[in-house]
Amino acid sequence: MSGWIAVAGLGPGGDALITPEVHTALAEATDVVGYSRYVDRVPKREGLCRHPSENRVEAERSRLALELAAMGRRVIVVSSGDPGVFAMASAMCEAIEAGPGSWRELDVHVLPGITAMLAASARVGAPLGHDFCAVNLSDNLKPWALIEKRLRLVVEGDFACALYNPRSKARPDGFAHVLELLRELCEPERLVIFARDVTTSDETIRTVLLSEANPEMADMRTVVILGSSRTRRIDRNGLPPLVYTPRSVTE
């Protein structure tokens, strides 16, 4: 079989953060498959077939890519950020495991990208500068009870944490529940960063205290970073503050 699949991350939004490796794959591909918003970020060119689809159809998208590659096509499956972080790489692996044995012989490789949490962290300093984790707040594929359990463990372990998919039109109340839980578990001075459309012309970044955070500060284009108890803010005259988590931990 001469076809291949590259599962690629387009970064958080700015074209400058698409890696050279991904640019090369895009130039060689015959087909691009993905959520329509991400396919739209790939420039049109002669010889490139575009296969946009709606959200929440990751399994169907993966099967299409595998079928195209089995026909000898060179397929790039696009995600935002990094494809292995709450994106298409896992969906592709699930489809291969559940599909015909011939799919396991296809040339499939995952190309890393820059995640929204890393881009947001870099914009404000280094809030993820010590131990950290990431939690997807969507309950589409897991129960709310599990999300709550993981958030409690995040705070118990005193991790800084990137919170993905905080608030959507279909889930307008979930993030309010998250903030209520965090206020129960954390001190009111805990730092929270809201980074929306990071690295694009529409970028907005706000750093607030947990006591000041409200659900309307986030949507599906926002990544939220909850600091640990040790995360600190450096105010600077005429300049944006720096937020960082110290590298050393002393009891």
pLDDT tens digits for range 62-117: 999 999 999 999 999 999 999 999 999 999 999 999 999 999 999 999 999 999 99
Write out the residue limits of the CATH 3.40.1010.10 domain(s) in the chain.
4-114
Per-residue pLDDT, 170: 76
Q: How far apart are CA 43 and CA 67, in angstroms?
A: 23
Class of domain 4-114: alpha beta
Write out the residue limits of the CATH 3.30.950.10 domain(s) in the chain.
117-244
Q: pLDDT band at 179, cuts 50/70/90? A: very high
248: three-class secondary structure by DSSP: coil
Q: pTM higher than 0.75 for the full model?
A: yes
* Topology given in CATH for the domain delimited by 117-244: 3.30.950
- Identify which of 210, 146, 215, 147 has the alpha carbon closest to the alpha carbon of residue 182: 210
